[in-house]
Amino acid sequence: MTISRELFIRNRLGLHARAAIKLVELAQSFEAVITITNGANSATADSVMGLLMLDSAQGQKIMVSAKGQDAQSALIAVTNLIEAGFDEDN
């Protein structure tokens, strides 16, 4: 079963390289497959290059989906990271 949540990119620089690396490191700590979707484009959260190709800027709406054994925990953790602006000073 896949679970999803719609989120907004809050940090000023959007999903840039440093933020993407944080997201990849977090995603790799879970068994679940985490997918980020921005419009018609999607990428798994374990690929920095894939995440950068989504070109997600501040204020954009994205969909985060998780599927697998610990999908609920993964979705909560990724949501917390994104809603905290990737722990950057906004």
Q: What is the per-residue pLDDT for 90?
A: 53
Active site residues: 16
pLDDT score of 89 more than 80: no
pLDDT score of 41 more than 80: yes
Q: Encode pLDDT of 49-75 as tens digits.
A: 999 999 999 999 999 999 999 999 999
Check if the beta carbon of residue 70 is closer than 8 Å to that of residue 83.
no
CATH class of 2-87: alpha beta
Per domain, the residue ranges of the chain are: 2-87
pTM of the model: 0.95
